Structure 1
Amino acid sequence: MFTLTSELLLTLFASSWIFVLCQETQEVTVKAGEDATLPCRGHRGAEITFIAWKTDDGYLFLFRDNRSREDDQLPSFCGRVELKDPKMKDGDVSVILKNVTINDTGTYECWIKEGNLLNSEPELFSTIKLTVTETQEVTVKVGEDATLQCQSHGGADISLIEWSRTDLKPDDGFVFLFSNDRSYEEIQHPYFYGRVELQDPEMKNGDASVILKNVNIKDTGTYECLIVGKNSRDRKRDVFEYISIIELTVTGHTAGHIWEGYVGVVCFLSLLLVAVGGFMVNQMIQRRHRPETTPDSESAEDALNPSSSSSV
């Protein structure tokens, strides 16, 4: 009896562990315009009779009665989703979402029904958190203000904003951090202290853009915006993340570069004056040491060369 109970407990533990693994959320990050593969796999060798990839708003992909049901798809996904392996070999029911956009950012669930038993219900096999990144190029001149754009998905309420720069370590501080309805300047990177503010302090329509003031050459770099927000329909669910990538280029010269230019010009002119002065002094010295020609010396020279005087 004890052995049977132990085996039963072991079976229950294994089943619960498998269920936890199936529920584990996987993160997939792609760039806007690329194709995103959302992985999901049923039991090997099982007959799959129903597949539903869904969000809170409806179906991303629906398969039943041995065919996909495009009529039941959300309009925004129509013609953009297909099975990675139409034969679903080894239970693979992963789908490919084509030409993703920022609006595709969100959480997707994969539900599978195996077998034809009437009493069986679809089971949740995979949860995917999809993040679509968008790279923008911003170019400004030295001394100007740079606006770094970032917008939450669907204009949802924002609970956290993190602006960072890829070449800075997280321990060094953030470019800008907003949480609990306020910004945290105390953990901001010293270089950006007092120079960054929200474009819209009220963050209307999910606007998480910031303004970087009085930029200089050192501000050139790659900036990332991370947003965590909540669906306004259910504040306890659907926490998502959105990443915006900004390539900032600052053109022109800083005051330091201008001063260096002035110094270079002054040094060049100084060297030029020294060279000209040296040349003039050298000419004066040569003139002083050159023997002067006198009338007596010319007569003596004519006497020594009578042929030259007779020819004249």
Structure 2
Amino acid sequence: MLMFPLLLINSSFDCIFSQHASGMEVKVYDGVESVLLPCQLPADVSSDFLAAVWDREELKDPTVHVRLQSGDDFKNQNVRYTNRTSMRADALQTGDLSLTLRNPTISDSGTYTCNTRVTEPPAVWPIVLSAVLDPVVLLAAGFGVFMYHRYKMMKIYPVEMVNATQGEKSILLPFKVTDHLPQDVKVEWRLINPEDRMVYVYERSKNESPSRDHVYRGHAEMTEDPLTTKDLSLTLKDLCLTDSGVYTCTVYNKDGHMLLQKVVTLRYQTEMVEVMEGEGSVLIPFKITGDLPHDIKAEWRLTHPEEKMVHVYESGNNLSDEDTQEQVYSSRTEMNEDPVTTKDLSLTLKDLHLTDSGVYTCTVYNKYGYKLLQKSVTLSVRDRKSDIKSERRGGINLKIFS
């Protein structure tokens, strides 16, 4: 139940203007489904090169949510907010930068600040130049202006968000066009964030492997005749957590000039488990319904914010020792003695610390090393000593009551 928030916020807009106010306080009770932290920017201030950043500076990793023109950027997001924050898809176009925080708990109490910043636009030569400039410089300047206008003429489709949940075998990154496309175009799907990878290439005139990155071979596909159907959508199969990110589909003509582009943000939603620091143990769940062969290998790894081997089960043996797991997990993990029969691959993690927060992934292989199953769970270990009061002035002070 929300308690009458004041509609006043202190937000700074770097490189545009600054607005100073007394701040506002939002009060909410523990257990509500979500809470909205309001932030409004005049729509006429919005820019093609604007980014919005929500942060909470009392945290070691202060980033709560980042919104770019290309979509949400979760690269530096504090792990405790994984899969719990969202903004409007058109936030930077409308100026409504409000943040939705799902499943708020007492540990989320604090001061949240919304900042906007402007990134550098493409370099463009000025239109008006001094008459004393060298003719070669004038030619370069004119070419720069021409390139700028050609860039602005490229058709950019609206950014789209796609949510994938665990258990889905495949997901569609949609891109249906209305324009007639010549048959000699080149279509490239790329993952651009958190890293740059070529995912899929379609080019009718060349007989080449469609996927340029071995990770996506057999993992990504387009329809057989996308230019005729005007459907450039990409299907990703055998989904896993590392598929999350920002994808671009760019269409080039035969001269290599960009004709169309669309950005799709894929968010892979994991199960969330929360626990207080110092608890005796926590169960990271993974129960299955199908049958498994008895000679499997199950690996539990910490996959975010860094990769660590946590626990290994293989052919009836729990191999939790120095040879198979990171030392930090020594004597702190265990699995069921017979997970294949019980169909319970859950992991118990003992003697919890704040540094245990992160994304844990269990991957199951058969005796030939082929992946059979995979599940990721986000663990958030909360600090018992966290004070619901924040000493920082400005921004939105969020208080959650039990």
TM over 0.5: no
Instruction: Tell which structure's C-alpha radius of gyration is larger.
Output: 1
Instruction: Name whichever structure is richer in helix by fraction.
Output: 1
Instruction: Name whichever structure is richer in strand by fraction.
Output: 2
Bigger relative contact order (CA 8 A; separation at least 6): 2
- Provide TM-score, normalisation by structure 1: 0.37
- Provide TM-score, normalisation by structure 2: 0.30
